[in-house]
């Protein structure tokens, strides 16, 4: 192998998974200090990847989510021929391995998953113990190096401008992330978030709601129930959310991409779980509280509650999450 290999990583398609992908990137950088590492990922991920110092550049993946688009993958792969020595394929799908195959990258490394014999040259075993533990599964692809929690860089100038724009004080507000792109079985109810927001505001903290434009209905309902919160859903770019969340005194989130962002910028995080398990995708930080009822029916890993009651989240009381928040707020604020 070349001392300075060029490496192409086929990245994941979700915010949280892309944050956890840094566990692989940092291991590759340790194993190949002089390597050029590029990531092939959806265009939305560019601001996130730009905060990862291990990566040279992102190449936008011009494909619709879930689509095969075989001819496009073949043409795209051919355009990349001769540019890379190694490819790491992070997603488990058959189609995700096509571009490195058509690019004729000599080493194509990934888990077997969808019977990818021939598409991969190096099949990395995926132990059952880490199959659902996303960060560990990604790190395992490196087959060496040191496991490190994700750490995103922060643009302090942009952060200061955003704090002024939205009237927020450094380490004087709490960030709430009430959305979940995966589905409603990951979302703690809006009325519960509103109750928590009211409790935090009564203690002297400002409260800001974060999310994409897809979360706007949820955050609008919370804002209606808890007057005084700052609703930022759909009003910030991904890079803005990274910088603002890093300025928060505390974050409270469902099991979502922004939960992993909060952990990766060092903000203490209360993580609320319903249909998923904190054993599998916890925020990778020591400054955390994991809140989960652990009912007999959870984790089901479903987008919508298969039993129709969503008790794993509806019966999770505000007081329990507020107590977890209080424990983190008692810790000294990070510099």
Nearest by Cα to 55 from 90, 22, 91: 22
| Band of pLDDT at residue 326, cut at 50, 70 and 90 | very high
Q: By three-state DSSP, how is residue 58 classified?
A: strand
Tell me: the pLDDT tens digits for 90-138?
999 999 999 999 999 999 999 998 889 999 999 999 998 888 899 999 9
pLDDT: is 22 or 332 the higher one?
Answer: 22
Q: Is 86 helix (H, G, I), strand (E, B) or coil?
A: strand
Phi, psi of 153 (to 5 degrees): -80, 160
Interior/surface letters 164-193, b for 16+ CB within 10 angstroms, e for the rest: eebebeeeebbbbbbbbbbebbbbbbbebb
How much is the average pLDDT of 281-291? 96
86-89: strand order across its sheet: 57-60, 36-41, 6-10, 86-89, 107-110, 122-123
- Give 291 or 68, the one with higher predicted confidence: 291
pLDDT band at residue 179 under the 50/70/90 scheme: confident
pLDDT of residue 181: 73
Instruction: Read off the pLDDT of residues 224-278 as tens digits, 9 standing for 90 and up.
Output: 999 999 999 999 999 999 999 999 999 999 999 999 999 999 999 999 999 998 9
Kindly list the structural domains of the chain, giving each domain's residue range(s) and its CATH number in brackets, ordered by start: 6-140 (3.40.50.2000), 156-329 (3.40.50.2000)
Render pLDDT for 20-77 as a digit per residue (tens, 0 to 9). 999 999 999 999 999 999 999 999 999 999 999 999 999 998 777 777 889 999 999 9
* CA–CA gap between residue 96 and residue 206 (Å, rounded): 43
pLDDT of residue 68: 82
Q: Is residue 206 predicted with pLDDT exceeding 70?
A: yes
* Prediction pTM value: 0.94
User: At CA 71, angle to CA 65 and CA 74, rounded to 5?
Assistant: 95
Supply the mean pLDDT for the chain: 94
Instruction: Decide: 259 and 245 in contact? Cβ < 8 Å.
Output: no
DSSP H stretches of helix in the chain: 15-20, 22-31, 46-49, 70-79, 98-102, 134-140, 156-166, 190-202, 216-225, 238-247, 257-264, 311-314, 318-329
């Amino acid at each position: 192998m070349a001392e300075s290999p060029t490496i192409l990583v086929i990245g994941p398609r979700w915010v949280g998974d892309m944050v956890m992908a840094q566990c692989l990137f940092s291991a590759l950088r340790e194993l190949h200090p002089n390597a050029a590492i590029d990531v092939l990922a959806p265009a939305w991920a560019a601001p996130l990847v730009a905060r990862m110092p291990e990566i040279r550049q992102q190449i936008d993946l011009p494909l619709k989510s879930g689509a095969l688009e075989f001819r496009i993958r073949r043409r795209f792969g051919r355009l990349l021929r001769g540019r890379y020595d190694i490819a790491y394929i992070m997603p488990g799908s058959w189609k995700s391995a096509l571009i490195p195959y058509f690019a004729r990258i000599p080493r194509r490394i990934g888990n077997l998953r969808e019977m990818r014999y021939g598409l991969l040259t190096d099949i990395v075993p995926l132990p059952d113990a880490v199959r659902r533990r996303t960060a560990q599964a990604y790190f395992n692809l490196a087959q060496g190096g040191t496991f490190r929690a994700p750490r995103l860089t922060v643009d302090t100038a942009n952060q200061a401008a955003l704090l002024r724009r939205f009237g927020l004080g450094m380490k004087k507000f709490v960030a709430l992330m009430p959305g979940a792109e995966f589905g409603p079985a990951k979302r703690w109810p809006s009325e519960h978030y509103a109750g928590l927001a009211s409790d935090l505001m009564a203690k002297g903290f400002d409260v800001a709601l974060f999310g994409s434009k897809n979360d706007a209905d949820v955050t609008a309902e919370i804002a209606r129930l808890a007057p005084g919160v700052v609703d930022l859903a759909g009003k910030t770019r991904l890079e803005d959310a990274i910088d603002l969340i890093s300025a928060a005194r505390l974050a409270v989130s469902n099991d979502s991409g922004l939960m992993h962002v909060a952990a990766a910028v060092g903000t203490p995080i209360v993580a609320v779980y319903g249909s998923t398990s904190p054993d599998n995708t916890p925020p990778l930080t020591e400054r955390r509280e994991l809140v989960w009822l652990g009912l007999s029916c959870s984790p089901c890993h479903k987008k919508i509650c298969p039993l129709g009651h969503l008790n794993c989240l509806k019966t999770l009381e505000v007081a329990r999450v507020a107590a977890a928040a209080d424990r983190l707020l008692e810790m000294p604020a990070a510099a």
